[in-house]
Chains A and B, each alone.
Chain A
Amino acid sequence: MEVQNSEHGHIIEVCGDVPAAGPSLAGSKICGEAACGFSDPKTSSEDAKERSAAMQKLLIAVILCVIFMSVEVAGGIKANSLSILTDAAHLLSDVAAFAISLFSLWASGWEANPRQSYGFFRIEILGALISIQMIWLLTGILVYEAIARIINGTGEVQGFLMFVVAAFGLVVNIAMALLLGHDHDHGHGHDHGHGRHDHGHGDHGHTHGGHDEMHSHGITITTHHHHERHYKHDDEHHHAYEEDQTKPLLMTSSEGERKSKYGAKQRKQRNINVQGAYLHVLGDSIQSVGVMIGGAIIWYKPQWKIIDLICTLLFSAIVLGTTIRMLRNILEVLMESTPREIDATKLEKGLCEMQEVVAVHELHIWAITVGKVLLACHVIIKSEADADMVLNKVIDYIRREYNISHVTIQVERL
């Protein structure tokens, strides 16, 4: 920081070292290529890293699944038991779901072309939608099979066999849930519950550092408040530390760095396809628990065969309940709605508060995929204002406050 005293007396100029704004902003206002903002080197390499990490996880899960499935098929043919073979078929459906997620992950990294001007990020969302519909379909099939078992009523439903098979399936599913749910690989033992997550804990990223997130502004911090994914119910108390949205301008850099890492870690939500696969596995473990309970009861009291059906129905309802939240998120993205974490009214008001801006029209904010938001609007300014300056101000404001980097603003004069 330099302090200059002008020779005419009482004017002191203080120049701070502001590492941001200025030339980089003008340069990145327009992007020359098809999918800019989504493919500048920094974000694309982060994206690629994140994607390859997720793909690795899913690949390991698929391989595990195939191994377990072949074991079960061999065992089922040997023991000539239908229920084991059914469970193996269920694992096959898991493999299919993982394959869909893997494909969507891989496909979303494709280069944009003139037909797909925004890139292929949406494929993630469509793949997740297909996964969830498969979950629903499979749940329906399970319910049908439970009913068919009741109708057939042939002989004994072996409670013990049900119990053992379900226990095995549960162990497999827990292993995969741990694999898919393990967010950070820093090696410090942070026990955030097990894969089962019936208390809805460690789904969100934790704040210990290790990720070097470079923010382009050293002084202004955006802790972006992302809506967290809770599968079953709203753990409101988890939101308590997410209250602050933007930090004041002057903050010591060390504190700023810590907060920026905090914000960055929060922003690193799990990829939606990994989440979909995780939901699949979670649903399977819930079903396995249900079958275990049913098997135990039938083993204990073999004449209560109806328990099988009741357990299936109950636990199927629970599984469907876990998917509702993710389905809602997917639907919101697909319907091009304003993302939850952005308050459109506040943004409009903030824009209108600028001096030269008279009105804001046709404000559209929508998400390409979770986390990548675009904005388009028409801004009416006073006749004598400098359009370019206002454009820069508006883009900077939106980028700073709401972290939306891909913006198209039409400036009209009154």
Chain B
Amino acid sequence: MEKSDSFKYYYPSEKESQNSWNTGFGLSVSDRRLAFSRQASFDQAREPHTPVSINLNDPAKPLLARSVSNIDIPTGLFYSLDESNKYSGEGNGSAQKFSFMLFVFSILRIMRSGNRYMKRLFVMISLNVAYSTTELVIGLFTGRVGLVSDAFHLTFGCGLLTFSLFAMAASRKQPDRVYTYGYKRLEALSAFTNALFLLFMSFSLAVEGLHAFIQDESEHKHYLIVSAVTNLLVNLIGVWFFRNYARINLVYRNAEDMNYHSVCLHVLADSIRSAGLILASWLLSLGVQNAEVLCLGLVSVAVFMLVMPLFKATGGILLQMAPPRIPTSALSKCWRQINAREDVLEIAQARFWEFVPGHVVGSVSIQVKKGMDDRTTLQFVHGLYHDLGVQNLTVQTDDV
């Protein structure tokens, strides 16, 4: 059984119904939260899988659906990627170790044809790396521990941003034998990691504030002003690059949104931190007591509030929570409609989860009367849930 056979989609609904799910939920295009949707990625998100009518007797029809967008990988590249996957992965069916170097090279190739955000992220990472290296070298040579610690903090951040970039590139790969749903989850994972890092940072800032409160040593902050200002500038450039995602609560259309949002929050939090340090130094020079504790506390709370919604959303995806965008009223309406059919006895279970925002997977199990035509039931159920936006659906019909 070749690879392409396993991924045919037999959704029996008309092409027009695919657009209806978007407008049925009170989310119009003029919604402020969707403001970033001016980007090109918006169209890509609308329907990732073209539904195809059931016509099993016609093998000539191409059944593998791919999303079409202007940021897709050029076809030649796709085939070479595919070949490399096949060669490295076909030896044993569930390919355990796909060769890492091959993967890295393919990612590098994709990055050259990357989209706008990937390029911006790349520029940001190189800026950060250059800055932190100079800081580290200067700190090592002049013997200032504060500079070295700042450089380390930056390096951690850079490492995370590199992982985000890697996730952006790697999530373009098509699904294969082992990763049957594709690689887009990597973006959600990188968003989660970023959010986690920001939470750690907020926590450590709080600890540092506590430390300063107990120990009351405030002189060592002064010479960090220059580095704090440069840090602030570099991070503000980053915020400008990702300005479309500079919100706290965001509606996620697809996987990339989560990743971009997390990168934006990362640089935003870093800039808040630098601003806090500058403010603390200034207040200290003004003679305000406990300025450092105040500022550190403020920054810590601010970063925490910034990150919490993203953390909860990514956590929900990773925990396979029910899709937040499909309201329970719609789901119960579908439930009632299926129950109302004459050949359906009851619905045993219906479970839905999101692979990435926008790609909902479901499995439904219904009990039917014996001898009924299952094809119409299947078509009905599939059509019903497809209108809601469920792409992969498996319906088990049990005769009682």
Contacts and interface: CB of A to CB of B under 8 A. Distances in A.
A345 B177 contact: yes
B399 A34 contact: no
Interface stretch (B110-118, B124-132, B218-226, B315-323): B315-323
Contacts of A412: 10, 56, 374-375, 378
A409 B394 contact: yes
Interface string B175-195: 001111101011001000100
A340 B189 CA distance: 20
A31 interface: yes
A377 B394 contact: yes
A331 to B, nearest CB: 7
Contacts of A352: 1
Contacts of A249: none
How many residues of B sit at the interface, in one of the four size bands? 35 or more
B367 A361 contact: no
Interface in B154-184: 156, 177-181, 183
Given A137-B200, A363-B180, A364-B181, A116 B6 contact: no
Given A30-B348, A114-B322, A114-B328, A376 B140 contact: no
A30 B398 contact: yes
B349 A36 contact: yes
Contacts of A380: 56
A33 B352 CA distance: 15
Interface in A375-412: 376-378, 380, 387-388, 391, 408-412
Contacts of B8: 361-362
A29 interface: yes
A126 interface: yes
Given A338-B94, A391-B396, A115 B181 contact: no
A277 interface: no
Given A335-B185, A408-B396, A344 B177 contact: yes
Contacts of B156: 137, 140
Interface of B is mostly: mixed
A364 B180 contact: yes
Contacts of B249: none
B185 A334 contact: yes
Interface in A320-362: 331, 334-338, 340, 342-346, 348-349, 352, 359-362
User: Residue among B328, B355, B396 with the most chain A CB within 10 A?
Assistant: B396
B365 A408 contact: yes
A408 B320 contact: no
B189 A409 contact: no
A366 B94 CA distance: 12
A238 interface: no
B241 interface: no
B62 interface: no
Contacts of A408: 363-365, 394-396
B321 A116 contact: yes
B5 interface: yes
Interface string B379-400: 0000000000000101111110
B252 interface: no
Given A334-B189, A335-B185, A378 B318 contact: no
A99 interface: no
A177 to B, nearest CB: 25
A414 B181 CA distance: 25
B148 A387 contact: no
A348 B180 CA distance: 13
21 contacts: A29-B398, A30-B349, A117-B353, A126-B318, A133-B193, A151-B144, A334-B185, A336-B180, A344-B177, A345-B1, A345-B94, A361-B5, A361-B6, A361-B8, A361-B10, A362-B9, A362-B392, A364-B181, A366-B181, A376-B392, A391-B396
